[in-house]
Copies of this chain bind each other. A is one copy, B any other.
Amino acid sequence: MSRHETSGHEAKRELFDAFASVAKVLSSGRRAEIVDILAQGERPVDDISREIDQTIANTSQHLQQLLRAGLVKSRRDGTRIYYSLSGTAVSRLWAAVRDVAAEHVAKLDELATSYLGDRSALTTMTRTEVYERIGSGDLVVIDVRPEAEFRAGHIAGATSVTLKELEKWLDELPNDRLIVAYCRGPYCVFADNAVRTLSRHGFKAARLEEGYPEWKEAGLPVEAKTDLPGHDRAS
């Protein structure tokens, strides 16, 4: 069974290697974490390295791999270099990876529970439920992601309340309205913890089932930092 014979086979191999190169760049857990973070909006290198708990040098190298593969782009602003996903197709790919894992990876539930804790006691709401009630005013939406992500873009009308600030805010939050917390996506801990804390203090609280990227992708209203044009440096 000889390989490398006809140019047709060779060309097919190369084409599918190119498809595979896209998957390959997502085949490291650390790069997956990076994509999950960048799905929230652009971030500088040192910020990302802290989030994924890796050295700056290592984080930088992961980012270059993502750059070379075309999944992210970078722009310089003064001394900092901001990375961001190169398009919504990348967000959709990341969601597709999570979907397959959720459906077909045997031990995923176990790993998710080990990271997120028991979710059975938490009330959840879908995008549409939140969107429909957000106008009526009987709902308070809080964004519990790191502030940088809130600044890069958030659900229209949401307030930034990080977990550290949450304790201080307990006096100011309304007792008579439902508080909906959201964060990065279906496997993000922040919202879970916020809802647990709020429930413990007697508030009515729920978690948005998914996160900001899915809300934005669905075309629901957001408030986003306008990307400064002309500074981009594509892959």
Whether A27 pairs with B23 at a CB distance below 8 angstroms is yes
Among the listed stretches A100-108, A132-140, A199-207, which one makes contact with chain B, having 4 or more residues with CB under 8 Å of it? A100-108
Q: Mark A19-62, 1 if CB is under 8 A from B, else 0.
A: 11111101111111100100000000000000001110000000
Whether A93 pairs with B96 at a CB distance below 8 angstroms is yes
Instruction: Name the contact of A31 in the complex, choosing from B20, B55, B187 (C-beta under 8 A).
Output: B20
Whether A89 pairs with B99 at a CB distance below 8 angstroms is yes
Whether A105 pairs with B69 at a CB distance below 8 angstroms is yes
Q: A55-B1, A96-B92 are in contact. Are A235 and B22 (CB under 8 A)?
A: no
Chain B residue contacts of A93, Cβ below 8 A:
93, 96-97, 99-100
**A87 at interface, CB cutoff 8 A:** yes
**A12 at interface, CB cutoff 8 A:** yes
Instruction: Name the contact of A97 in the complex, choosing from B3, B23, B29, B36 (C-beta under 8 A).
Output: B23
Query: What CA separation (Å) do A176 and B34 show in the bound complex?
Result: 56
Interface residues of A in 56-111 (CB under 8 A from B): 69-71, 86-87, 89-90, 92-93, 96-101, 103-108, 111
**A147 at interface, CB cutoff 8 A:** no
Instruction: Name the contact of A108 in the complex, choosing from B8, B9, B18, B105 (C-beta under 8 A).
Output: B18
The number of residues on chain A lying at the interface, defined by a beta carbon within 8 Å of a beta carbon of chain B, is 58
Whether B87 pairs with A104 at a CB distance below 8 angstroms is yes
In the complex, what's the smallest C-beta–C-beta distance from A102 to chain B, in angstroms? 8
Whether B187 pairs with A70 at a CB distance below 8 angstroms is no
**A226 at interface, CB cutoff 8 A:** no
Q: A96-B96, A104-B70 are in contact. Are A23 and B21 (CB under 8 A)?
A: no
Whether A36 pairs with B16 at a CB distance below 8 angstroms is yes
Query: What CA separation (Å) do A86 and B103 show in the bound complex?
Result: 9
Query: What CA separation (Å) do A159 and B187 show in the bound complex?
Result: 46
**A11 at interface, CB cutoff 8 A:** yes
Chain B residue contacts of A70, Cβ below 8 A:
100, 103-106
Q: A14-B29, A90-B100 are in contact. List 5 more A-B contacts (CB 8 A).
A: A18-B111, A24-B24, A86-B104, A87-B103, A93-B100
4 A-B pairs with the lowest CB-CB distances in the bound complex, closest first: A70-B104, A24-B27, A23-B26, A17-B29
